[in-house]
């Protein structure tokens, strides 16, 4: 009996893969609907403390884990912080760094560029949002003998996973914000992470608060972001 479910390439098993085929009509509507849905996403800074089912958070993180990565090393860890004490510690440390950034580290031009977004050093959302997802990149791994092995394209891989994560959060009807207090090594300390992990991105996740406003900004048009060759 012929079995073409898999083949061997240099001794490694490759399993048969097929994308689900859809009609060209469906492809058009599906691609348009996906855009329309993601085009509604906005970065939100005001959260409700309303709880979310844990399984939703797990599904979102499983989705992030489907991103491609260098040599399939999947060099990421997603820490979910629900504990109020830890959230408070994170807020205090983040606000400390942000105060130094806004008052000393950021250039006048940078501050001017941020003005229309209404950001400041107050990071209340870090305590209000029911969950904080802290994404760590793993530049290297230790094997069982303690020997270091580098991962590849770590920033690209983890950046892609964060993109998948953000789209999954939006698709679940929730909101988030890409928060990057800088420097953010305090997250490694507060969450007691191993020494092969570096904080990459912090995302509060939840429902938006009752009266949420976002800046009236617009996305670049297709002609501005695309070149056909």
Nearer to ligand IYR, 98 or 208 (CB): 98
Q: Is 180 in the site for ligand IYR (CB under 6 A)?
A: yes
Binding span for ligand IYR by CB under 6 A among 62-70, 176-184, 198-206, 215-223: 176-184
> Are the beta carbons of 152 and 71 closer than 8 angstroms?
yes
72: left (phi over 0), alpha (psi -120 to 50) or beta: left
How many residues bind ligand IYR (CB under 6 A)? The answer is 7
Binding span for ligand IYR by CB under 6 A among 26-34, 57-65, 71-79, 175-183: 175-183
Nearer to ligand IYR, 125 or 136 (CB): 125
207: left (phi over 0), alpha (psi -120 to 50) or beta: beta
> Are the beta carbons of 191 and 83 closer than 8 angstroms?
no
Residue ranges in 67-221 assigned as alpha helix (H): 84-100, 108-114, 125-128, 154-171, 186-190
Percent helix, percent strand, percent coil in the chain, to nearest 5? 40, 20, 40
Tell me which of 87, 89, 179, 193 binds ligand IYR, using CB under 6 A.
179
Q: How far apart are CB 83 and ligand IYR at their closest, in Å?
A: 22
> Are the beta carbons of 191 and 86 closer than 8 angstroms?
yes
| CA distances in angstroms from 91 to 18, 97, 199, listed in the order given | 46, 10, 15
> Are the beta carbons of 187 and 202 closer than 8 angstroms?
yes
3 state DSSP class of 62:
helix
Binding span for ligand IYR by CB under 6 A among 83-91, 130-138, 148-156, 180-188: 180-188
Tell me which of 119, 167, 196, 212 binds ligand IYR, using CB under 6 A.
119
Tell me which of 57, 98, 166, 200 binds ligand IYR, using CB under 6 A.
98
Nearer to ligand IYR, 68 or 163 (CB): 163
Q: How far apart are CB 123 and ligand IYR at their closest, in Å?
A: 7
Q: How far apart are CB 45 and ligand IYR at their closest, in Å?
A: 9
Q: Is 111 in the site for ligand IYR (CB under 6 A)?
A: no
Question: What residues from 28 to 87 belong to the interface with ligand IYR (CB under 6 A)?
Answer: none
Nearer to ligand IYR, 109 or 145 (CB): 109
* Dihedral angle computed from the Cα positions of residues 186, 189, 194 and 200, in that order, rounded to the nearest 10 degrees: -20
Q: Which residue ranges make up the site for ligand IYR (CB under 6 A)?
A: 98, 114, 119, 179-182
């Amino acid at each position: 009996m012929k079995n073409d479910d898999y083949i061997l390439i240099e001794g490694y098993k490759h399993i048969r893969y097929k994308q689900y085929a859809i009609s060209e009509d469906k492809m058009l509507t599906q691609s348009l609907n996906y855009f329309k849905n993601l085009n509604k996403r906005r970065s939100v800074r005001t959260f409700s403390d309303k709880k979310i089912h844990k399984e939703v958070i797990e599904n979102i993180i499983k989705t992030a884990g489907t991103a491609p990565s260098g040599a399939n090393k999947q060099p990421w860890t997603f820490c979910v912080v629900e504990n109020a004490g830890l959230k408070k510690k994170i807020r205090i440390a983040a606000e400390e760094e942000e105060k130094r950034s806004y008052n000393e580290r950021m250039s006048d031009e940078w501050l001017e560029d941020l003005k229309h977004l209404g950001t400041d050093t107050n990071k209340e959302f870090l305590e209000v949002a029911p969950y904080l997802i802290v994404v760590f990149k793993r530049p290297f791994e230790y094997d069982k003998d303690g020997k270091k092995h580098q991962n590849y394209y770590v920033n690209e891989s983890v950046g892609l996973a964060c993109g998948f994560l953000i789209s999954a959060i939006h698709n679940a009807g929730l909101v988030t914000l890409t928060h990057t207090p800088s420097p953010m090594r305090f997250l490694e300390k507060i969450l007691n992470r191993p020494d092969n992990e570096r904080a990459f991105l912090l995302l509060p996740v939840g429902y938006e608060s009752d009266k949420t406003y976002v800046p009236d900004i617009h996305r670049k048009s297709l002609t501005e972001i695309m070149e056909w060759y």
